[in-house]
Amino acid sequence: MIFSLGVGAQLLESLTTGGFLAALFLVTVGSFIIDFLCKPRYPKSIPRVGFGDGVIDSVRNWVGYVSHYNDWVFEGYEKVCPLTFPLFSLLANFNAQQYSKHDQACVVPSAPSRAQEIVVPRSQTSWLLEIPDRILSTKDAHSDVLYNYYQFFGVDDQFPIRTMHKHLARNLVALIPGIQEEVEGAIDATFGTGTENWTSLNLWQAWLGIVPRVTNRIIVGAPACRNPTFLSNLVAFADDIVRNGFLLNMFPTMLHPIVGRLAVLPNRWHAYRAYRVCKPVIAQRLHDMTRHAAGDPAYDAWEPDEGLVTWLIRQAMAEGLQEELKPHMLFLRLLPIEFAAIHTTVITGHSLLLDLLAADPALGYLDIIREETSRVLAEEGGQWTKSGLGRLHRTDSAIRESMRLSFFAAALTHRKVVAKEGITNAAEGWHAPYGSTLMLNLAGTHHDADLYEDPERYDALRFSRLREEFEAREKVGMADPDEAMRVRRLGMVTTSDEFLPFSHGRHACPGRFFVAHELKMILAYLVQNYDIQPIPERPKNMWMGQTVIPPLGATLQVRRRKAAALAT
């Protein structure tokens, strides 16, 4: 024992700073090499973008991933060059090929910790989405993207997603008045009520002042949804997820047990502070629903407020999941939904206003939306309903068009091969081994000139115009019956192989119907109650790998509309 302690002391004394750094470097390099050797290998028959799949090529791909990932995804859809950087473009052009757009898969490089991804062509969308989860897993793919084990403390999102599929749509109509109340209160508090002077407003912060509050009206309910400590910590938690996702992407998976646990310390702090606020709400709801279910006479006439907390408890009771019926576990189940709802909706709303305000003012998009929303709201007696929101075709089109043009992820439909034997693509014959990742190309599809005329231009009425033209032909008996189904699928919540912001198929986002109502009500209240000055040019997003960085410094000049203006 004394000998062992003596040897340890000698080793510590001999470990200089230089020696420590050298050892750390060797461990890191060794981890990358082992990671590389353990990743799935794809057949040579599948063409590649980037630099190939050798050891040196992988290093170049990892370096290029930070700034070139989206370029590679676009190239994989339209026109692929084996060497993509400008220095090599003259040598590469002669060997250009076309892949995804022309029914051929390709492989796109990914981050150092992740396997390269097979981009499945749009023509094979049905093949990809119809394969059972026991072979191609959505859950495992999402977990890999977000590092659920670390970021969400080992609790996955399957139970809350299943719960939302079962309860959200059937309760959404009754939730609309509460959503409208939060929309109006949040916008008034964020945009102000002064009618005399123009106010400069940071657009990103404005959306953060609206979306978390409105979203939490259907998650934890009022008044908790207005608690500033609760909301600020949920926003910080969402920021933690994005930052840590990029960080873990850049470290080899062998080091994740160390890096992951250290990186998520802020997650834990922000989640703890949010939990302290909403724990009494969850505990009281759990107590009341338990007593009601037990037949307590005092609760005979009692009904819980509808929302995600209630639905999780109800679903856990129905399935006999006693481990779910604890305040702490119920809160953990909320976190994946909080992240998805806050992060994606804020980015979508932020892009929507930038797209609208950067459009040619002569097109009058804001006036068109103001007229439509004011007219329909008046028809509904000043209170939004499902029917009224469903009639906002031009408003819906403006939002859908922004989601098409200003995407925040090059792909949102991922599947991971979890079958030990892998999977073989019948159309092309290639085989994807266990652990492979497959995806659909959102970026290329949404900017395909064969699918969308002038695809780089924001046309707020792109989809409503098609609907109105069809309805005009239908009135005079000249409409094509086959066209009717396609026109009815032009709403923002309708997914297809041409429109993928909510993914597609049976795993499409279950919260998209709420998001549609939320964004329509927000946009309607803004244009009816505020004047917003146009901007000369839309500031561009930046990208770090697959992580979008919106123009966070974008500001707007806003002013509350006077009563006389509101009446017009």
Question: Which residue positions form the known binding site for heme?
Answer: 509
Q: Which of 339, 146, 242, 111 is nearest to 552 (CA)?
A: 242
Burial class, 539, CB count within 10 angstroms (exposed 0-12 / middle 13-18 / buried 19+): middle
Q: Which of 294, 315, 297 is nearest to 306 (CA)?
A: 315
β strands within 154-286, DSSP E: 199-202
Radius of gyration of the chain (CA): 26
Provide the phi-psi class of 63: left if phi over 0, else alpha when psi is between -120 and 50, else beta: alpha
As a whole number of Å, the end-to-end CA separation of the chain is 89
Query: How many C-beta atoms lie closer than 10 Å to residue 36's C-beta?
Result: 16
Binding-site positions read: 509
Instruction: Return d(Cα 387, Cα 368) in angstroms, integer.
Output: 20
146-168 per-residue burial string, b: 16 or more CB within 10 A, e: under 16: bbbbbbbeebbbebbbebbeebb
Contact 129, 504 (CB under 8 A): yes
Instruction: Return d(Cα 473, Cα 478) in angstroms, integer.
Output: 5
Query: How many C-beta atoms lie closer than 10 Å to residue 284's C-beta?
Result: 12
Provide the phi-psi class of 268: left if phi over 0, else alpha when psi is between -120 and 50, else beta: alpha
Contact 290, 262 (CB under 8 A): no
Please name every residue paired with 202 in a beta bridge, in sequence order, or none if there are none.
555
CA dihedral 289, 292, 293, 294 (to 10 degrees): 120
Instruction: Return d(Cα 517, Cα 176) in angstroms, integer.
Output: 8
Q: Crossing angle of helices 203-217/327-358, nearest 10°?
A: 140
| Ordered strands of the 530-532 beta sheet | 199-202, 555-560, 530-532
Please name every residue paired with 532 in a beta bridge, in sequence order, or none if there are none.
558
> Helix (H, G, I), strand (E, B), or coil: what is residue 306?
coil
Contact 318, 220 (CB under 8 A): no
Instruction: Return d(Cα 535, Cα 488) in angstroms, integer.
Output: 33
Q: Let me know how many helices (H) and strands (E) the chain has, helices first.
A: 22, 12
List CB contacts of 238: < 8 A, sequence separation 6 or more. 338, 339, 342, 343
